[in-house]
Structure 1
Amino acid sequence: MNDLYARHRNVLPDWLALYYDEPLEISHGEGRHVWDSAGNKYLDFFGGILTTMTAHALPEVTKAVGEQAGRIIHSSTLYLNRPMVELAERIAKVSGIPDARVFFTTSGTEANDTALLLATTHRRSNTVLAMRNSYHGRSFSTVGVTGNRGWSPTSLSPLQTLYVHGGVRTRGPYAHLDDRAFIDACVADLRDILGHTRPPAALIAEPIQGVGGFTSPPDGLYAAFRDILTEHGVLWIADEVQTGWGRTGEHFWGWQAHARSGPPDLVTFAKGIGNGMSVGGVIARAEIMNCLDANSISTFGGTQITMAAGLANLAYLLEHDLQGNARRVGGLLIERLRAVAAQLPGVREVRGRGLMIGIELVRPGTDEADPRAAAAVLEAAREGGLLIGKGGGHNTSALRIAPPLSLTVAEAEEGAAILEHALRSTY
């Protein structure tokens, strides 16, 4: 392992982060578990950054991938592609967007990049609204709309980005307000911004901020925003890269918690749909999707082998009601963790929905973020046989918990017990 780590450092960028003081090589996985190259077994509560959505080595997906690989792996979008058409049909149907069109990419970054291209072209504006503490990818344009300093390496951007309040409920100038007053204050902030600038192309927002530490506004905020955006002709892009496909339990899409004014104009997706294969994409009304007046294809977006994986994975998720499982098992897990947190002075908040749970850590007796404690809990959890993630807009002080959606009650209890021990050993 030390040799592999040395080789990694010799040929890969310094900014390519690795978890743990002694980085981990995952050799294989099954169900909700993975094994490292030394033979250690771990319960996986992070799923390759919310990407292994159903299970590791899910037979239905591996079979579909193998069978497709035996026929043809790739041809590009220049040729008719049956798996791509079939998956697009299924996604359009579950999207909630009328007259929906689907364009496939290879990642969430590329999906958001495409959505920004479509929105700015359709609206003839390069001004974009985004949320503070947000994350939308690592390309030049998506870094330019990311409101999280830890993931924004440059201020240069092809876009003019204006950041609005609302993505973080329990921090910031409106944190002391009740939910209704919080929404009213954020709407007033949005109105004020729109009164001082030329009409933007779109608002891009994660229903639950992923890298930001699984923070979210009160239900209905984006519906209230939508009313104001519609007055100004501004589009709404819902970044569902982490929240889509039932992970929040209560809804299939995160935007549905804000559904009073109907679906977004554009929805971006990635991560979980491929269960580890590189699948991303954009869903939009036909008038928006078809606004480009130049050639645009994708060499690898929608390639046959990834589409076969997506079809099998989506079918499994729907047939086995993994959204319902995320609601039931996730509800038990979050209440168990809240009971533990109530006894620990360093836990500021346990938040989230379904199997998308964040634990924010602070220095005991203060409201000050504690990134060192977050790193220590991450290490202790690994020692106990549990893999989790971390994030947050305040110096990476939030633990991120997002197991595959097929998690069992017994596995949730096992993971909670390991995490409780890791938290207690830190505080």
Structure 2
Amino acid sequence: MSDILLGRHRAVLPEWLALYYDRPIELTHGEGRHVWDANGNKYLDFFGGILTTMTAHALPEVTKAVSEQAGRIIHSSTLYLNRPMIDLAERIAQLSCIPDARVFFTTSGTEANDAALLLATTYRGSQQILAMRNSYHGRSFSTVGITGNRAWSPTGLSPLQTLYVHGGVRTRGPFAHLGDQEFIAACVEDLEDLLGHCRTPAALIAEPIQGVGGFTSPPDGLYAAFREVLDRHGILWITDEVQTGWGRTGEHFWGWQAHGRSGAPDILTFAKGIGNGMSVGGVVARAEIMNCLDANSISTFGGSPVTMAAALANLGYLLEHDLQGNARRVGGLLLERLRAVGARSPHVREVRGRGLMIGIELTRPGTDRPDLEAASHVLEAAREGGLLIGKGGGHSTSVLRIAPPLSLTVAEAEEGAAILERALHSIP
């Protein structure tokens, strides 16, 4: 049956719509941290639909909220007062740490980043954007135009002029050999030099931890140092928290908070995990920035009563059960375990991450050259062993991406690590 469904998929969907595995699988249902395919195989889910099933599959609190709201009204649009949307906006505005915050809801991270770019360029009157090398911000025309990862940038055409900055990748590039403080100083010098050769950009957009880029990040404090430069030039800071938000990194609720004295960003974008599988994204910004648009606008599907009800229930569960703390504790144990595994594999260049956001970079033994074949082999071997993981990376898809639901238990973390260990040791 899977072969038949695959044939139907290929007959009507784009060739560039990627599928995992030599024999793609259909997931039919899930519970907790597990999912099942159409053949009845059970998997421990360490990828959560690309970091989207944030708390758990079939979380009763979320499914109940969706069912009850669907029984009342499913859709109205933003042309009408929407109590669940207002309730959620109030909670997110408070959690964002942005003063006098306003919240606009979208249906995805791509759309959220697109809206943030619209706000920043309009507010500053500039179409220039600073972005990080190796970055990814979405698949719309504008967000592809600021994506610094060639593998996910199908066109060089863009309505924006994008200038790329060093710093998002700590262990590769011209500054990799430097210590952390020297690395930060070199990146700041690069930023200052870049600004001396261009008109003033509207904003810098950055992922605190680069997701698609392979879970790479700079030393803590880089964006605080950048912020000092940006403020002198009147440049806004947009933090893309689509993958790092809601406590996934364990130590902080938002990824930007790892950069200490930076203060709250001017604009924050979010999506993925807040809906626990429902299509929820959004932008938070100071009122003067959010309100800078001088034309009418609405959102047909952003802020849908059903998705807002799901996100409210999901956020409530996450806070009440301290899943950020769980990500810190269980993620720390998992990271240590995987680093020990990696130390025994000649194919593992680096095991990095924070909380339940971990990357394992694979290279050809004795070199820094990415090993795509090894990454694909481990992906397949992990699935055969009952574990679903992801892939990413800037130079190639040679980084294994591990991002389970934040309710992961210690026993499940150990089970997943054991499967990964066997998969890594099976590389030819």
TM-score by length of 1: 1.00
In structure 2, distance between residues paired with 1:25 and 1:178: 46
Deviation at 1:371, TM superposition (A): 0.8
TM alignment of 1:286-325, pairs within 5 A: 286-325=287-326
Q: Which amino acid aligns with 2:258?
A: A
Residue deviations 1:73-92 (CA, integer Å, cap 9, x gap) = 11000000000000000000
* 1:101 and 2:102 correspond: yes
**2:406 match:** 405
Deviation, structure 1 residue 53? 0.1
Letter in 2 for 1:398: V
The amino acid that maps onto 1:335 is E
Query: What CA deviation, in whole Å up to 9, does each residue of 1:64-111 have, x standing for no partner?
Result: 000000000110000000000000000001000000000000000000
CA deviation profile, 1:332-366 (whole Å, cap 9, x unmatched): 00000000111111100000000000000000011
Other structure's SS at 2:426 match: helix
Counterpart position of 2:88? 87
Corresponding letter in the other structure for 2:225: A
Secondary structure of 1:89's aligned partner? helix
The aligned counterpart of 1:22 is: 23
Partner residue in 2 for 1:267: 268
Which whole-Å CA distance do the structure 2 matches of 1:130 and 1:66 have between them?
A: 40
| Equivalent residue, structure 1, for 2:173 | 172
- In 2: Cα distance, 1:294 partner to 1:314 partner: 32
How many pairs were matched up?
Answer: 427
Q: What is the CA-CA distance between 1:290 and the residue it aligns to?
A: 0.2
In the alignment, residue 349 of structure 1 is paired with which amino acid? E
Shift of 1:259: 2.9
Secondary structure, in 3 states, of the residue corresponding to 1:14? coil
CA shift, 1:394, in A, is: 1.3
1:352 corresponding residue in structure 2:
353
Q: Distance in 2 between matches of 1:261 and 1:135?
A: 22
Q: Which residue in 1 is equivalent to 2:115?
A: 114
Letter in 2 for 1:422: A
Corresponding residue number in structure 2 for 1:326? 327
Determine helix, strand or coil for the equivalent of 1:281. Answer: strand
Residue 296 of structure 1 and its aligned partner are, at CA, apart by: 1.0
Is 1:365 equivalent to 2:366 in the alignment?
yes
Q: CA separation in 2, counterparts of 1:378 and 1:330?
A: 20
1:181 aligned partner: 182
Please list the CA deviations of residues 107-139 of structure 1 after superposition, one character each: whole Å capped at 9, or x if unmatched: 000000000000000000000000000000000
Letter in 2 for 1:101: R
Q: How does 1:217-232 map to 2 (within 5 A)?
A: 217-232=218-233
Take 2:259 and 2:199, find their aligned partners in 1: how far apart are those partners? 26
Q: How far, CA to CA, are the matches of 1:319 and 1:296 in structure 2? A: 35
The SS at the match of 2:103 is strand
Residue 395 (structure 1) shift: 1.2
Q: Pairwise mapping of residues 112-261 of structure 1 onto structure 2 (< 5 A)?
A: 112-261=113-262
Alpha-carbon displacement from aligned partner over 1:10-44 (angstroms, at most 9, x marks no partner) = 00000000000000100000000000000000000
* Amino-acid identity (%): 83
- Post-superposition offset of 1:373: 0.5
Distance 2:253 2:221 in 1: 16
Stretches of structure 2 that go unaligned for 5 or more consecutive residues are none
Which residue identity does 1:384 align to in structure 2? G
Q: Quick one: distance in 2 between partners of 1:169 and 1:90?
A: 34
One-letter amino acid of the counterpart of residue 320, structure 2: E
Alignment of 1:382 with 2:405, yes or no, is no
SS in structure 1 of the partner of residue 44 of structure 2: strand
